[in-house]
Structure 1
């Protein structure tokens, strides 16, 4: 039997990312965001939703740039800590022992400890209510070479132990169940789907 649930709280799990922002080292900040995602392939675009009262909101709104840094099991504590502390009161990079690195296309720094950094330039801000949606064009992506299979060139994100957020908890992503389109591909006799 199903029961009624609060609207807006059911589309989980979500990637838990650290968004870095700031045009100068003095204002660099990290913001934990769970409401993020890909919104377009061509041109490549992502979005993040941020509450206007958050310290990083004003920085991103003013600069029009940010970096989405994917998080891992190793970054779980920093991800949570940066989500419950304000950049108004804390230097999050220093407190968590994290390293800001110059981006290639935007002023906002990359997070060196993150295996994937997605540089974004804001194209549109959509006020929605509790959050504003920042829709941004992806202008640069850096991937840790350890996540690229040298034989096939395949991106192997599972090697990084990425984390997701669901209803107040963090989880490490688990076992791969199949590849896109596996449900309709013909199997060789005796082969198992994956």
Structure 2
């Protein structure tokens, strides 16, 4: 397939799209949409998030040194879009949209009741980059809806109807997995194990 070359740009797609809640020193809560966010470390659990300095939440997070990353669903897509285009400097989005908040466990900033998964984060650092600054966030606690967890303790994210962001549009995620981590070599390992077991049986005889 022939390729078309573009200048260097942020063409990494799709990406998660989340709603971030933050609170200032006067206990005013704001929520805004973020599409530039990713996991960058497992232990300690660290997320990287790009935020424009002119955003109201930029100062809220910088002041309080905390925020909550709220995962979003198909039912929340209109809220996601609204909170991405309307500034908290002009309107109280929490009040206007009638958003219900849920108290945090490890920090003072609340999460969104409607969000199925909320990650309570502590700010580790801010690094100026250009149009956006890089926020490194340590995840202190994660709240997950009970109906996403089975009796073995496994979290079924596919039940949450999560959405993603791709080149200016929102997309629902497919609920049927194409495979799971390590599946590409699983058959080889299974075949090798069966062969070893067969050889052991022969040896015993």
**Structure 1-normalised TM-score?**
0.92
How far apart in 2 are the matches of 1:164 and 1:116? 15
1: CA distance, partners of 2:83 / 2:7: 26
TM-aligned CA deviation for residue 24 of structure 1? 6.1
Q: CA offsets, 1:16-52, max 9 Å, x none?
A: 0000000467520001001111111111111211000
| Contact kept in structure 1, 2:33 and 2:84, CA below 8 Å | yes
Task: Flag as ranges the 4+ runs of structure 1 deviating above 3 A.
Answer: 23-26
State the 1:118 CA deviation. Answer: 0.1
Q: Is the 8 A contact 1:24 1:107 kept in 2?
A: no
Q: Please tell me whether Structure 1 or Structure 2 has the larger radius of gyration of its CA atoms.
A: 2
Match of 2:158 in 1: 158
Deviation at 1:108, TM superposition (A): 1.3
Unaligned segments of structure 1, at least 5 residues:
190-194
Alignment-derived partner of residue 80 in structure 2: 79
Moved more, 3-12 or 67-76: 3-12
For the residues of structure 2 that align with 1:121 and 1:98, how far apart are their CA atoms? 23
Question: What do the CA deviations read for 1:152-185 (whole angstroms, capped 9, x no partner)?
Answer: 3211011011000000000000131000000100
Q: Which moved more, 1:28-37 or 1:93-102?
A: 93-102
Q: CA deviation at 1:105?
A: 1.1
Q: Take 1:111 and 1:185, find their aligned partners in 2: how far apart are those partners?
A: 39
Q: Show the counterpart of 2:68.
A: 67
Distance 2:26 2:17 in 1: 24
As a proportion of its length, which structure holds more helix? 2
The count of residues paired between Structure 1 and Structure 2 equals: 188
For residues 36 and 182 of structure 2, the distance between their equivalents in structure 1, rounded to whole angstroms, comes to: 27
The corresponding residue for 2:121 is 120
SS at match of 2:142: strand
